[in-house]
Chain A
C-alpha cells in the first residue's frame, strides 16, 4: 500500500517563480492537510480540507493556495515564491476530522529551497 505520496522529494526554486507541490493518498481519507516544518518550530498548518470540494486556512496560509478536486489529491501551490518559504513541507491525511483518535498519516515530505 502506497499510503500517502508527495512530489517532488526536493526542489530548489528561484524567488518569484511559482510551483505546485503534489500530494496523493490512496487510503480514501476524507481529511487532508499541508504543514511546513522549520527548525526549532512545531509543524504549522498551512491549509486543510475536511472533504473533497472544501478547503480551509490554517495558521500560516499567506502565499499558498490549495484545491481539492477529488478525495485523493491535494496540491499546494506557491504563486510567487519568497525565501521565507524555504522549509520542509508535509502533506497528511486522516480518516475524519472529528471523533476518537483519527491520527494523521504523513507523506515523506518535500524539501523546498527558495533562493
Chain B
C-alpha cells in the first residue's frame, strides 16, 4: 500500500528553527510537495522537490532523498504566523497526490 508518515504535532519557539520530517512509500514517484494549511483554511503550496537535494525559498527549505524515501521541511526564524499544519504529499505513478495526515506546528513566544 501507499503510505506517507509525518509527526502529528511539533512545538517550537519563535525565532528558532524547526525541521518537519516526512517518509513515504508509494507506487512510483513523480515529485514531493509541501503545503501549509492554517486552521479552517485551504492548503497553500510551499515547495516542490523532484531531484535529490535541498531547495531553498526564503525562510523555508525542503530536502529530498529519493533512495531513502525521505524529505524534510526546514523553517528558519520562526514567526507566530508559521503556526499551521504542514502537509507532505507525493505524486505517484498515476500522477495523483498521496497526502500525509499533516504535522501541526505550534509556535510559542
**Interface residues, chain A, CB within 8 Å of chain B?**
40-45, 48, 58, 90, 97-98, 100-101, 103-109
Contacts and interface: CB of A to CB of B under 8 A. Distances in A.
Interface residues of B, number: 20
A45 B98 CA distance: 8
Given A41-B101, A42-B102, A48 B42 contact: no
Contact of A42 (B33, B48, B100): B100
Given A43-B87, A90-B42, A104 B97 contact: yes
- The winner among B31, B43, B89, B100 for most chain A CB atoms within 10 A is B43
Nearest to B6: A42
Contact of B41 (A42, A45, A108): A108
Given A40-B101, A90-B42, A103-B33, A98 B95 contact: yes
Contact of B96 (A45, A90, A107): A45
B99 A42 contact: yes
Given A42-B4, A42-B102, A103-B48, A90 B43 contact: yes
Given A42-B87, A90-B42, A106-B44, A101 B31 contact: yes
A49 to B, nearest CB: 12
Contact of B101 (A42, A45, A98, A105): A42
Interface in B55-109: 87, 89, 95-102
Nearest to B30: A98
A106 B48 contact: no
- The winner among A41, A42, A58, A97 for most chain B CB atoms within 10 A is A42
A77 to B, nearest CB: 21
A101 B87 CA distance: 16
Given A42-B102, A101-B31, A101-B48, A108 B42 contact: yes
